[in-house]
Amino acid sequence: MEAKEYTEMRNLLTGYLAEKKLRRTEERYMIFQNICSFPGHFDVCMLHQQLEDNNYHVSKATLYNTLEILVDAGLIVRHQINTKIVQYELRKLADTHLHLICTKCGAVRELRDSTLKTDVDNLKIARFTPEYCSLYIYGLCSKCKYRMQRSGR
């Protein structure tokens, strides 16, 4: 990510904390900084590990607390594709793609497609102010389809 973009998002966080009268703690900024290093989806464990690797220890409670704040601030989005793991992603990244999920093996692929996003932006919805959207397309990935055809279903 470009330094400029990072600074911009960091400022958004600062603005949000100020607006909500929340404190600007080192933990919150460190967590956000580490999140920015992920190129795609991440979960709580990965984030915790990433912080430990950088010799920065935070409790699970603080992690969860901060993630909620970041979601509310609109800086990250939450994905819950399978039952077990809740994943997050920088909102900035999520806005550029939709998700293809294999119903067989669970593999998730990202697909850049602007038309659908534009369609959503153009939707006129009564009594609702859209902020962003998540689109998940379920189906068969090529590997699983091939495997099924070979085994005769």
Partner DNA sequence: TTTACTGCAAATATTTTGCAATATC
Partner DNA sequence: GATATTGCAAAATATTTGCAGTAAA
Binding site for DNA (CB under 7 A): 17, 22-28, 43-45, 57-62, 64-66, 68, 83-86
For the segment 21-40, give every residue that binds a second copy (CB under 8 A). Answer: none
Residue 150 binding target from DNA, a second copy, none, CB below 5 to 8 Å by type = none
Please identify, using beta-carbon distances, which residue of 83 and 118 lies nearer to DNA: 83
Tokens at 46, concatenated: 């990965």
The DSSP-derived string for 45-88 is HHHHHHHHHTT----HHHHHHHHHHHHHTTSEEEE--SSS--EE
For the segment 86-125, give every residue that binds a second copy (CB under 8 A). Answer: 86, 100, 103, 109, 111, 113, 115-116, 119-120, 123, 125
Among 134, 120, 49, 121, smallest CA distance to 91 is for 134
